[in-house]
Amino acid sequence: MEIKAIKLKLSQYCTVYQAELLAIQKATEEIGKIRTPTFAIFSDSMAALQTIQNPNALHPLAVQTRENLHDLSLQGKVVILFWIKAHAGLKGNERADHLAKEAALKSKRRPDYDQCPISFVKRSIRTETLEEWNTRYAAGDTASVTKIFFPNAKTAYRVVRKFNATRLTTQILTGHGGFSEYLHRFKCKASPSCICDPGIDENVNHLLFECPVFGRIRSELECELEMEINSGTAEIIMQSKKREKFLTYCSRITEMVTNRNKTS
């Protein structure tokens, strides 16, 4: 039977892992107030139980729990920790989950535990860093080609991690590659012009979205993606599931152009 229930409040930035450790630590404190000689603590958190049982784990809650268990053993009390399966219909576990939700959603008192987890610190630093990066990126005069695909640095950070960049995709996304305009800047080619028109510079924007030389494969991709390919839709495509097909198209054009410029 249930003879006592304790609900504890944690700060919003605390993790579920910390909540599980705190619950076990408080349970060992309550055991010290009861005269019964034998106790069992049930938890559905294998990670928390393993941390407590590992003498090398230095999490403050785990250290305090081990100290409590040691003191209880000196009092002649036997405490056994058990792992139970979560969401398996076990009455006690379901009751504990219900109380935990009530404490998280309804409790208005000050937190009983507010130690900041390392994961929160890392996430906060990353967020602030991205904000600063995005501000400098938006205000800067450089990376004009990259901004065609990623006007926002925070979006770029999220999307670039989802595909494997190759030498060809890197050239396209930066504009630093074997394109006539870029080669001409460094005096590696006499003219910046595209083969389609002497009056038009051969750069990423022209090659991908305008050059008639690649009109057929561009049209084929537009039919496949069911949308027009231009400097305005590049950002949308890069954030969608159509990204891989678009990058394949970009790589194909880049390889053809760089190979041609090597021999010209």
* Same-domain check for residues 259 and 139: yes
Domain boundary among 118, 141, 171: 118
Inside any domain, residue 215: yes
* Same-domain check for residues 164 and 248: yes
* Same-domain check for residues 177 and 202: yes
Question: Which pLDDT score is estimated for 144?
Answer: 94
* Same-domain check for residues 96 and 155: no
Question: Which pLDDT score is estimated for 54?
Answer: 96
CB atoms within 10 A of CB 150: 21
In the chain, the number of structural domains is 2
Domain boundary among 118, 141, 160: 118
Give the residue numbers spanning the domain of 157: 133-263
List the end-to-end C-alpha distance of the chain, in Å, as a whole number.
87
Inside any domain, residue 61: yes
What confidence category does residue 155 fall into, taking pLDDT thresholds of 50, 70 and 90? very high
* Same-domain check for residues 30 and 109: yes
* Same-domain check for residues 85 and 150: no
* Same-domain check for residues 52 and 162: no
Least confident of 83-92, 162-171, 192-201: 83-92
Inside any domain, residue 142: yes
Residues sharing a CB contact under 8 Å with residue 225, sequence separation 6 or more, in sequence order: 237, 242, 245, 246
* Same-domain check for residues 257 and 201: yes
* Same-domain check for residues 142 and 250: yes
Angle of helix 60-74 relative to helix 46-53, nearest 10 degrees, comes to 60
What confidence category does residue 234 fall into, taking pLDDT thresholds of 50, 70 and 90? very high
* Same-domain check for residues 215 and 258: yes
What confidence category does residue 264 fall into, taking pLDDT thresholds of 50, 70 and 90? low
Taken in order 108, 110, 112, 114, the sign of the CA dihedral is positive
What confidence category does residue 186 fall into, taking pLDDT thresholds of 50, 70 and 90? very high
**pLDDT tens track for 115-142:** 988 888 999 999 999 999 999 999 999 9
* Same-domain check for residues 138 and 232: yes
**Choice between 56 and 93, residue whose per-residue pLDDT is larger:** 56
Inside any domain, residue 1: no
The CATH number given to whatever domain includes residue 33 is 3.30.420.10
* Helical spans, DSSP H, in 85-197: 91-106, 118-139, 146-149, 153-160, 167-174, 180-185
Taken in order 84, 47, 59, 69, the sign of the CA dihedral is positive
Percentage of residues in the chain having pLDDT higher than 70: 100
> Among residues 37, 21, 39, 26, which one has the least CA distance to residue 80?
39
Inside any domain, residue 125: no
**pLDDT tens track for 78-122:** 999 999 998 888 888 889 888 888 887 887 788 888 898 888 899
Least confident of 32-41, 107-116, 140-149, 164-173: 107-116
* Same-domain check for residues 94 and 151: no
Domain boundary among 118, 152, 186: 118
